[in-house]
Amino acid sequence: MPLVTSETVKQVMRDLYGYEISDADADAIAHSAGAMLTLAGHLPSIGLAGVEPPFGYPVLLAEAARLAKARS
């Protein structure tokens, strides 16, 4: 399992979000996040070579057109 420690969790909360959490909460988050990262490491086993993320250029174009129209 990737090493997500409670110290790492506490530091992220403190430095990036500006608040403190208890040791017990940090432990629980580290455990959950570590498990998720471990499982995420298994995703390539279903065959992801050459698979694109589902963010198409048509959506980008359409969103830009919508924003331009809203601005005018």
Other Cβ atoms closer than 10 A to 44? 10
Among candidates 41, 38, 1, 22, which has minimal Cα distance to 9? 22
CA 56, 37, 10, 22 dihedral sign is positive
Chain residues that interact with other proteins, rule: CB under 8 A: 4, 8-9, 12-13, 16-19, 21, 25, 28-30, 32-33, 36-37, 39-40, 42-44, 46-48, 51-55, 59, 62-63, 65-66, 69
Give min distance, CB of 37 to other proteins, in A: 6
Shortest Å distance, C-beta 31 to other proteins:
10
